[in-house]
Structure 1
């Protein structure tokens, strides 16, 4: 049996949602209604993120990338969490609706462990920024994801594998529904409770590592 950990980035590994932070810095007034509509599930993630980045002229891409890298604060305990998973032989995939210009540098700077990264990129060839989704929804998904976390799970998980999802927001709900167990905070924690998903709350990765190392943890009842 292989344990696969599907971990979100924005608001999970990073303390703040970096897409929201970027928008509130570069297009605060125009982006705020879109942010709220996505959070309320009134607008799909795909549609909302595309609309937000389209607000920013392409000549600001360098400034956006520099801001995102400088502003990313990592949640406590993440490197030790990755080390613990590696020691156990668990396979970790960072599956993010965020972008390569801030996700990849952070992960590579924090860990030398073998971690798969799925994220998106920005096309700055036109007048305004355009999103290029690395894993758009497949036919098994009901659409609107942007980067489709259920698709990634379907592609990498083999029959008999156990899946742990870690996340914080509405973009993580579909992955959480497919997982055997969920570590959740913020909006995902509320939704996991409402949906009755097997879960534990977390605030830092120290909380998750403690649960992983505790063989009596509720986690292991769902991995057997």
Structure 2
């Protein structure tokens, strides 16, 4: 019997908005639109694009950047209930996020998730500009230069031992979706799954995910 495990994205999934884009739009440093466009269209890797975007922001604005990112994030409905359901069913829950530690950890703090189960990027404010650091890079099996490599984390939980469930919303979740046994998708990820014929269940909030998980459980 394989052990169920959830790999859940953060920006645009656990939160309703994309926090990185919200921060960059708010502070609006010159040249940010081009960098976003190049990252979305994959002319730049995620690591290169996100690193370049934050390098546009002065590290002296640290407090303002952190305050804005936390005050403007909204947690998607049903998140606490999903965590409660996972605990009751012994489903392991990991946050696999391309987001940055200074907003990911504070926003998740009320939910009691083990910090060792939260994977994200880090920010260094010690220089002139904000510098993003990458504690979870791609392994030898991924050449996408992800920054925070979701497939690398997933490969630590082999398919023969784990039933791998992915919840996501963006193109950065697609490689992970290809490795998953079950995919919950919305927004760009939903579109990409439709275009490529990858099976998925759509969700609007985490109540949808819980309902579907209960249905699957009752049939298994």
TM superposition score category, shorter chain reference: over 0.9
- SS of structure 1 residue aligned to 2:201: strand
Aligned to 1:76: 77
Cα-Cα RMSD = 1.7
The superposition leaves residues 24-67 of structure 1 with CA deviations (integer Å, 9 ceiling, x where unpaired) of 01125421121122222222111100110000011011111111
Q: Once the 2 structures are TM-superposed, how far is the Cα of residue 160 of structure 1 from its aligned partner?
A: 2.2
Residue 112 of structure 2 corresponds to 112
Q: Which residue of 1 aligns with 2:140?
A: 139
Q: Is the CA contact (8 Å cut-off) linking 1:23 and 1:31 kept in structure 2?
A: yes
Following TM superposition, the consecutive aligned residue runs of length 4 or more in structure 1 with deviations greater than 4 angstroms are: none
The alpha-carbon distance between structure 1 residues 45 and 64, as it changes in their structure 2 partners (threshold 3 A), is: same
Equivalence for 2:131:
130
Deviation at 1:82, TM superposition (A): 0.9
Task: Tell whether 2:156 aligns with 1:155.
Answer: yes
| In structure 1, distance between residues paired with 2:89 and 2:196 | 29
Contact kept in structure 2, 1:2 and 1:162, CA below 8 Å: yes
How far apart in 1 are the matches of 2:146 and 2:84?
A: 30
Aligned to 2:101: 100
Give the TM-score normalised by structure 1.
Answer: 0.92
TM, length-normalised to structure 2: 0.93
Partner SS, residue 120 of structure 1: strand
Give 1:99 shift: 1.1
The answer for the alignment partner of 2:12 in structure 1 is: 11
Matches within 5 A, 1:161-200: 161-200=162-201
In 2: Cα distance, 1:201 partner to 1:141 partner: 27
Tell me the number of residue pairs that the alignment of Structure 1 and Structure 2 aligns.
218
Give, in whole Å, the separation in 1 of the partners of 2:24 and 2:46. 14
Shift of 1:84: 0.7
| Deviation string, structure 1 residues 59-80 (Cα, Å, up to 9, x no partner) | 0111111111111101111110
Gaps of 5+ in 2: none
**In the TM superposition, what is the alpha-carbon distance from 1:143 to its structure 2 partner?**
2.6
- In structure 2, do the counterparts of structure 1 residues 216 and 118 end up closer, same or farther at CA, with 3 Å as the change threshold? closer
- Secondary structure of 1:98's counterpart equals strand
Structure 1 gap segments, 5+ residues each? none
In the alignment, the residues of structure 2 paired with residue 26 and residue 41 of structure 1 have an alpha-carbon distance, to the nearest angstrom, of 23
Output one character per residue of 1:71-100: Cα deviation in whole Å (capped at 9) or x when no partner: 110111111011111111110000001011
Work out whether residues 169 and 189 of structure 2, in 8 Å CA contact, stay in contact via their aligned partners in 1. Answer: yes
Q: Tell me the distance in 1 between the aligned counterparts of 2:130 and 2:122.
A: 10
